[in-house]
Chains A and B, each alone.
Chain A
């Protein structure tokens, strides 16, 4: 069974530039999550989708971050404009509702 796929794995951008991350969840998983993990901290939920609807986006900085999950499968997370403090690993995960959650390898972002 294929796992959660993410791309790109690594990205370096200058502040005020934009970046987009892509995630393909495990086939059949209705729930998709985007987490932000800053070095030395635990993952923080940015947004959670159930199919293509948003369940929780209370910690998503909506002035600069956006996410979509068209057709209830793939998802993209965009940051525009990026700030230095956005340097982190962006983790995508998926699950059946209320079940074990599986993470991708993450997209490492450095903003300089």
Chain B
């Protein structure tokens, strides 16, 4: 099956710093989504981004489908950004959404 690898696995930053999270996938996809799982376990959808670039406030995401990776940028980090960030992909011709390994982000005040 498809492999979805995220890096780094853990990231600790000072409040106000910027960060880049990466998602690599092993096959062509027709759907890629980024999620934030907060410390209480709630998964919140951040972006639906099978290709191109999108921005939402301090967050932006870019997917280069031909090179099989996606990046999530977080600028001016806040403590509320802490949690685990997952990317999830859906293969061409298969509606199953497969989650990556996750990046645990900790923002220190």
Chain A residues within 8 Å of B, Cβ to Cβ: 31, 33, 35, 37, 41-45, 48, 50, 55-56, 89, 91, 93, 97-103, 105-106, 108
Contact = CB atoms under 8 A, between A and B. Distances in A.
Contacts, number: 52
B95 A101 contact: no
Given A31-B95, A45-B97, A101-B97, 9 more contacts: A33-B97, A41-B102, A42-B86, A42-B99, A42-B102, A56-B95, A91-B43, A99-B48, A103-B44
Contacts of B90: 98
Interface string B80-104: 0000001010100001111111100
A47 to B, nearest CB: 10
Interface of B: 30-31, 33, 35, 40-45, 48, 86, 88, 90, 95-102
